[in-house]
Amino acid sequence: MNNPLYNGMIFSNCNYKENMIIPSFYESIISMNKGKKVKIYLNTENKEISGIIEQIGNDFIVVSDPLNNNYNLIPMKCINYITFEEKINYNQDLLPKV
């Protein structure tokens, strides 16, 4: 498969985590931060992807790498966690109540 969105990365062993954040909350935070630089840590083989958030869907995120003009389509189930290189936007009303 030579799809430019995949950049040759194959995500075949992605597993859902039992303690995953509620997807709608997770997706909301990511969508409020489109255009920001992130580092995405995957739950497969300790891989990391750095880049800029371009798009978010129900089960995927698209991250661009401005250094080489590559785009990565990453299934949400493959994401362990994400770090942002600047202050993030989020709505405190969406935070889970404890």
In the predicted model, is pLDDT for residue 52 greater than 80? yes
pLDDT at 21 over 50: no
pLDDT of residue 29: 87
Q: Give SS3 for 29.
A: helix
User: At the top level of CATH, which class does the domain 23-85 belong to?
Assistant: mainly beta
Give, in order, the Cα–Cα distances in Å from 32 to each of 19, 67, 90: 23, 23, 7
Q: Specify the DSSP element, H or E, that contains 73.
A: strand 70-75
In the prediction, which pLDDT does 40 show?
Answer: 94
Q: Does pLDDT of 90 surpass 90?
A: no
CA 69/CA 42 separation, integer angstroms: 21
